[in-house]
Structure formats: structure tokens, C-alpha cells
Structure 1
Amino acid sequence: MGQKTSKLNKEDISTLRQETKFSARELQQWYKGFRRDVPNGQLTKEEFTKIHKQFYPFGDPTEFSSYAFEAFDTNGKGYIDFHSFIVSLSLASRGSIEDKLKWSFNVYDRDRDGFISYDDLLTVIKSIYRMVGTSTLHLSEDEATPELKAGKIWQGFGKQLHDSRDLISIEEFINHRNLGSEVLEALNIYNDLV
């Protein structure tokens, strides 16, 4: 996929149709826009953050976009190529609840140990609160702070707040019956893009 044209070839389209939930026409449109915005084909973390800032003007998405960038950078190259971008976007925007949860797990597992600790969860929730700018939100009393929200989610998984041995596995995380509707709704963060 290293070509510098504004169109994908048939082989690339065929491969991406199998790996995503986008039509051939949509893939061509996304590719054209990606190449227009990222002429060298390598979306950096800084550019990714600028995009998030356009969508969240009342907050600071810097930290969250850094975490999301890591989830989009599936090859670990330090940049997002079109293939990684479109596959991740497909999962995050059009995937099933289970697909979105698997993808989101990579955002929350900050230390990459295969589990989400309370600290991992709280770190990401704090970044989300900063991103959306809580002054524009009407939060319930039990979610007024990132700590309260993280505690609510953590206990929803049956975990003890002060037990550092408690961890959430990917199997527990993708069992969406443990999650409240507001968490499931947050999984749709990239739905508005498509």
C-alpha cells in the first residue's frame, strides 16, 4: 500500500474489504482523504492529536489521543499508515460491541501487560474527562470526578478498590454485561466520523 496515487488498486481494495466493514467506494474515499491530509502516508501522533482537537474544542484531547494513537498504530511503527488507520477505524466505528471492546482494551491496558489495573482505568478516564471538557457536561453526582467514574466501573466488574492484585482480563472486559450503558455508549467515540 505504499503507492502515492489517490486510488487504491483492486488487490488492496479486495484485502481491505475482507478486513473492514467499508465498501469499495468508501475505502476509495477514505484513501483519497487520507492521502490529501497525510501526503507521505504516515500519520504522526502530533497530526492525530490535531484531528482530535478539532472534534473536542472545549477540552484537551492530547493525552487521550496519544492512547488512541497507540491503538491505531497496530504495527508499532510510531505512525499510522492507511491500512492500520482504516482497519482500526472500522473496528472502532462499525464493529460489534465485542470488536469495539477488544479494540478499546488496547487503549485501557496502559502498561501492556494483558490486563487493566485500576490505575490503567483511572489514567484513561482522567484523559477522557480532560478531552471532553467537563464544564460542558452535566455529570451525575456519582460520576462528577474521574475517580468516582473509575470506581463505579471498577466495582461494576466486581473488583475491590484498594486491592492492587485485582485486574480486569480481556475476557472480563469484552463481557459487556459488566458495563453500564454510559460505558458502552462511550465505545462509539469514532462513530460520528463515518
Structure 2
Amino acid sequence: MGAGKSRLPPQTLSELQANVDVDFTHEEIQQWYHEYLKTTGRYKTRLTREDFQRVYDSVFVGDSRDFVGHLFRTFDLNNDGYVDFKEFIVGLCVSGSERVDRKLGWAFRMYDTDGSGAITREEMTIMLKAINKMISQNNKRSASDKGNSHQNNSIHDSATVEEMVETFFRSADKNGDNQITEDEFIEGTKHMPVFLHLLEWDPDSA
């Protein structure tokens, strides 16, 4: 059956519409299902990390492998190494949500790389370096196209990464235990929104 004629099973649609994190309409979910089938192909029902990687490779010039690995982790809710359609829709809705609390919850999970429920300096550094590897080449190309040597919205070097992490911890780590809880992260990003904006970086805006 061709992807264009496939319909989402009614039970799956009902489960998605009952999910509190899903705010897509019936029609939007069905449209995404068609796009999902185009990516998985005829003989697959789940997305792999490699499928995610191909999408990012088509958009970013830089090395996005580390970032994609962390993004895939936040979509793969049951940690089975695959993203099925329900996980895909939930991930899209949460990561692209207009609700700040929901999006910040997703951002926290991105930085909490080991899933412990708290972010360490090392984890935040790992994520910022992954972002920089992905976006730096896009920024260089954009700056070259514009005749501008400055790289806006990028992290220039390891020293800058370390400084950003230390600044965030000084501001957000209220109890001084050298780790950031979700509540501390949400409060901290109110004063340093760059930690959310970097996760949403759009290469077309560079």
C-alpha cells in the first residue's frame, strides 16, 4: 500500500488524541503519518537513529551526530532503540510546543544526558559542545556569504562553553550541590534563555 493512501489505525489515533502532550489535530496527525511513512519506507514501522541523522545531515553542514543522538534519546521514550509513530508525534509536540513549561521540560531532558533527573556541569558541557559541532560550520558559511566574520548564535570555543556552564550554575544552582534539578533549570533559563534557544537553532536564521 502506498504511503499516500495509508491511514493511521484508529486505536493509535485515539491514543494520541488522549495524550496530554499531543496538541495536533486529527488532520495534522494523519498528515504527519504520511510523512512518517515516507521516511520509514514500505518495510519499516519505526524510525532509527540513522533516520534522524539523515534528516539533520540534509540541513546542517557541521557534525550533528552527537546532537542527534541526544535528540533521538528524548524521542525514544521506552529506550528500545527505535521511535515508533506515537513516540514521534509526542516528541514533535513537546519539543515544538508553544507552552514554555512543556518545552523546558524537554530541554531539561536534552541536557540531562544520563537521565538521572539532574544536570551536572559535565552533562551541560557535553550538550553545548554537541550543539557547537553542529552549528559552527553553518555559521561560518553564513558569515562568509554575508561578508561578516562574526558568528552569531554560536559557541566560539571550549573556553566559552566552560564560561557559559559556570555562569549558569552560579545563577541556577540554588542549593550549591553542583547539579541542576528540573525546577532549577526552568528558573535558570528565565535569566539565560540561550540554553533553550541553542536547542532550537535554525540554520536558515544564521
Partner of residue 89, structure 1:
92
Counterpart contact for 1:70–1:76, Cα < 8 Å = yes
Alignment of 1:38-77 (within 5 A): 38-39=40-41, 40-56=44-60, 58-77=61-80
Counterpart contact for 1:72–1:80, Cα < 8 Å = yes
Partner of residue 30, structure 2:
28
Range that drifts further, 62-71 or 7-16: 7-16
Number of aligned positions between the proteins: 184
1:159-180: per-residue Cα shift (whole Å, max 9, x none)? 69xxx95111111112255442
Letter in 1 for 2:168: G
> Mind listing any 5+ residue stretches in structure 1 that lack a counterpart?
none
Letter in 2 for 1:185: H
TM-score by length of 1: 0.81
Structure 1 vs Structure 2 CA RMSD = 2.9
Identity %: 27
Letter in 2 for 1:32: H
Counterpart-to-counterpart distance in 2, 1:150 and 1:41 = 41
> Mind listing any 5+ residue stretches in structure 2 that lack a counterpart?
144-149
> How much has 1:150 moved relative to structure 2?
4.5
> How much has 1:17 moved relative to structure 2?
2.5
Alignment of 1:1-194 (within 5 A): 6-19=6-19, 20-39=22-41, 40-56=44-60, 58-134=61-137, 135-136=140-141, 138-139=150-151, 143-158=155-170, 165-175=177-187, 177-189=189-201
- Look up the SS of the partner of 1:168 in the other structure: coil
1:99-149: per-residue Cα shift (whole Å, max 9, x none)? 111112121112222111111001011010111124246347x95224414
Larger radius of gyration: 2
Counterpart-to-counterpart distance in 1, 2:162 and 2:56 = 23
- Look up the SS of the partner of 2:178 in the other structure: coil
